[in-house]
Structure 1
Amino acid sequence: MNTAEEIAYNFFLSLLAIIIIFLNIALLLSCRKNPSPETEPELEDSSPTGSVSAVAKARAYQLSDIDAATYGLNPLRIIGQGSSGTVYAVVFPGDDFVAVKRIHPSLILLNASGFEFSSVIKTLSSAHHPNIAPALGFSQAPRERIVVMEFIGIQNLNHLLHESPDGASLLDWRRRLKIGCDVARGIEYLHERMSAPGGTIHGCVKPSKVFIDEKFRAKVCDYGIWFNGRRRGIVGYVDAEYWNRGASKESDVYGFGVVLLELLTGGERRKGC
C-alpha cells in the first residue's frame, strides 16, 4: 500500500468511526425519547428479600419429564446449538411451547463448584420485562443441568443479520433501531432492576442471544448463567478483562457495542465487522 492509499484508508476508517459514534448517539437518544409502547409494568415485590416470588415462579422438572418431552433428546427437536448447550422445542402436557436448554456436560464438570444451579434459576425466573425471555424452570441431576425457558421462536438476530437471505429486506433501518433499543432496555433491566443483589450479569451479549418474536420485538435470552473455561463462541464479544475477572457488567456493555456495530453495518464480527 503506497502513501496515498494509506492516507485514504486511514481517512475512511476515521470517517466510519465518526459515523458509528453519531449513529450510537442517535440510537441512545431515540431509546430515551421513545420508550417501548409495549413495556409492561414491573411486578411489585412484597417479600423483604425478593426471594419468595422468585422461588414461587421457577418450577422444578423431573429429568424423566424432560426426557419424555424431548423424545429422549431427539435431534429432530433441536432448534439451536451453541457453545454452552443445545436447545430443544418441546410441549409439556397442558402447557404451551417451551424451549429446553441442556447445558454441555463438559461445562458442568468445569464449574461443579461455581454456583448453586437451582438457586440461580429461581432468581432468574423473577425477570419480568418485555425485552427479556424469562427462565420458567429447571431440572438437574449428576452431570445434567437443564433450563426451561419461554419459547419465543427460532429466529434470532444472528440468523437475520448473517444467514437469512431475506434478512436485509426484513431489517430496515426502523427495525434495526427498534431492535437496538430493545436490547439496550433488556440489558439495563438485568443490570439495574433485577431482584438479585447488584443486578444480574448476562455473561455474553451477542446476536445469537437475541431472539426476535413475531412483532419484531427483541428479547434477550441466556442471561445470568456463564461458565469459567469457556472460550468458543464468545471471543470478540467480551472485553480483554473478561479473561482475568470473568463476566461483568462492563463486558456486557462491550458485547452490546459489538451487537450495535453489526446492526448498523451489517458486517459480521468474525469477518471483520
Structure 2
Amino acid sequence: MNHSEQIAYDFVLALLSTSFLVLAIVLVLLLVCKKKPIESQETLPVKVCARVYSLTDMDAATDGFNRRRVIGEGRLGTVYAAVLEGGEVVAVKRIHPRLVLSNAGFGFSTVLKSLSLAQHPNTVPIIGYSEAPGERIIVMELVGTVSLDFYLHQNPDGMSLMDWTRRFRVAAGAARGLEYLHEGVAPNIVHGCVKSSNIIIDEKFCARICDYGLSFLAPREKRGMVGYTDDEYWGGRAGGACKESDVYGFGVVLLELLSGRQCEEGGLVKWAQPLIKETRFNELLDPRLVVPCDIKPLVRLAKVASACVGNSRKSRPGIGQVAAILNTLEIEVCFN
C-alpha cells in the first residue's frame, strides 16, 4: 500500500469512527427522550372509578332482592350478598326508599365516583352504583359479613369473643383506615358515622371501615348515630359531619373495645370518662376477659379514647396522632 492509499484508508476509518460515534450519541438521546414520558406515566396513580350498573343488573344479582340474600340492615339501607354477571360475589346496599324520596338523589353519582377512588387495606372498596327513579344502590367489595359490633356485643359468650391482642389489632387497623380517608386520599373523605357496626372484620381478622362518606344520604337521620356523634354534630352552622366528629365516634369505638359495653346512646362515654380520669381501670375493662399482667398498653389505649371523646372539636387530636399511638401499641402487644 503506497502513501496515497494509506492516507485514504486512514481517512475512511476516521470517517466511519466518527459516524458510529454520532449514531451512538443520537441513539442515547432518543432513549433518554423516550424514557422520560414512560417514567412520568408510571408514577401516575391508577384510579378506578365506580362502575355504573343498571337496575336490571342489580335485580338479577340479588335474585330480585330476595330476603334470603340479606346480610345486614342499617340506618341507610339493606345489604344483600349478590353475584354479578361475571360470577363476582359483592355486597349490594339498597338505600331505604324514604331516604331516596327525601334527599338521596342529590349528587349521588358524583359522590359515589369520588368515594370509589379510596383504596386501602383497612377500608371496604366501593366498586359501583346504580340509580333509577326511586332507587339508589351501592355496590361494594364483599370482604366479610361480620362487624365489630357483632363480635363485641351480639355473641359475647360464643367463639366470637375477642381477646385483648385482637382488640388492639382492630383498633390500630381501623385507625389506619380512618387516617387514610382523612389524609391519604384526595379529596379527603369524612366518614360521617364512625361506629362499631361500620367496621367489618374480614377473614384475616383485619378491620375494614365501610359506609364512609355517605352521610349526605341521611343528613338529619339520628337513628343509629346518637352516642357516636359529639354535641356539636346536631348544632347550628358549625355542626354536621367533620373530621373531628369522626374522631369522636372512633373514641367511642375504643371505649367499646376496652369495656365490652355498647354505646348506650352516649351513656358509655358518661360512664367511662370518670373511671379513666380516676384511674379505676379494673372497673373499666371488659369483665369477660382476664386483665393482663402488664396493664400499661390498656391504660394508654384508654387515655387515647378519653382524648377523642372528652375534648372540644378545636382541641381534639387528629386521627393521624391517634393512629401513630395505636400502631405503636399494636406492635408492642401483638408482635413482642
Which TM class, normalised by the smaller chain length? 0.7 to 0.9
**Aligned-partner residue type, residue 61 of structure 1:** Y
What residue number does 1:46 align with? 44
Q: Does the 8 Å CA contact 1:161/1:167 hold for their aligned counterparts? A: no
Q: Distance in 2 between matches of 1:45 and 1:177?
A: 35
Cα shift readout 1:64-114 (whole Å, capped 9, x = no counterpart): 11011111111101000011110000111223210000111211222256x
Structure 1 segments unaligned to the other structure (5+ residues): 1-43, 48-52
Q: Output the CA distance in 1 between the equivalents of 2:192 and 2:228.
A: 10
In the TM superposition, what whole-angstrom CA distance separates every residue of 1:37-86 from its partner, at most 9, and x where no partner exists?
A: xxxxxxx8737xxxxx55x4310000011011111111101000011110
1:206 aligns with 2:195: yes
Aligned 8 A contact 1:160 1:167 in 2: no
Note the C-alpha offset of 1:210: 0.3
| C-alpha separation in 2, matches of 1:169 and 1:73 | 29
- Helix, strand or coil: the match of 2:94? strand
Which residue of structure 1 aligns with residue 179 of structure 2?
188
Separation in structure 2 between the aligned mates of residue 240 and residue 110 of structure 1, nearest angstrom: 25
CA–CA distance in structure 2, aligned partners of residues 110 and 65 of structure 1: 25
Deviation by residue 1:107-162 (Cα, 9 ceiling, x = unmatched):
1222256x411111111111111000010000001221100001012110000000
More helix by percentage: 2
Cα offset, 1:238, TM superposition: 0.6
AA matched with 1:123: S
Q: Provide the rounded CA distance (Å) in 1 between the counterparts of 2:110 and 2:43.
A: 18
Runs of at least 4 residues of structure 1 off by over 3 A? Answer: 165-170
**CA-atom RMSD, angstroms?**
1.8
Could you say what secondary structure the match of 1:76 adopts?
helix
Aligned residue for 1:241, secondary structure, equals helix
Number of the residue aligned with 2:225: 234
Give the 5 Å matches for 1:83-162. Answer: 83-112=75-104, 115-162=106-153
CA distance in 1, matches of 2:75, 2:99: 10
Q: Taking structure 1 as the reference length, what is the TM-score of the superposition? A: 0.77
Partner residue of 1:78? 70
Residue 246 of structure 1 aligns with an amino acid whose one-letter code is: G
SS in 2 for 1:182: helix
TM-score, normalising length: structure 2: 0.63
- For 1:253, the aligned partner's letter is V
Q: Distance in 1 between matches of 2:158 and 2:126?
A: 28
Question: What amino acid is the match of 2:189?
Answer: T
| Distance (whole Å) between structure 2 residues aligned to residue 102 and residue 170 of structure 1 | 30
1:9 aligned residue: none
User: In the alignment, is the contact (CA less than 8 A) between 1:161 and 1:168 conserved in 2?
Assistant: no
Match 1:257 to one of 228, 251, 270? 251
Q: Give the aligned length.
A: 221
Does the C-alpha gap of structure 1 residues 45 and 200 become closer, same or farther in structure 2, counting only changes over 3 Å?
farther
**What is the rounded CA distance, in whole Å, between the counterparts of 2:223 and 2:206 in structure 1?**
28
- Separation in 2 of the partners of 1:120 and 1:173? 37
Matched, 1:248 2:248: no
CA-to-aligned-CA distance 1:15-51 (integer Å, 9 cap, x gap): xxxxxxxxxxxxxxxxxxxxxxxxxxxxx8737xxxx
Structure 1 residue 170: Cα displacement: 3.9
Q: Deviations over 1:195-215 (max 9, x none)?
A: 21xx10001000000000111
How far apart are residue 168 of structure 1 and its match?
7.2
Structure 2: segments with no counterpart, 5+ residues: 1-41, 269-336
Distance, in Å, in 2 between the alignment partners of 1:60 and 1:124 is 14
User: In the alignment, which residue of structure 2 is the partner of 1:60?
Assistant: 52
Counterpart of 1:8? none
Three-state SS of the structure 2 residue aligned to 1:111 is: helix
Higher relative contact order (CA 8 A, sep 6+): 1
CA separation in 1, counterparts of 2:140 and 2:104?
A: 22
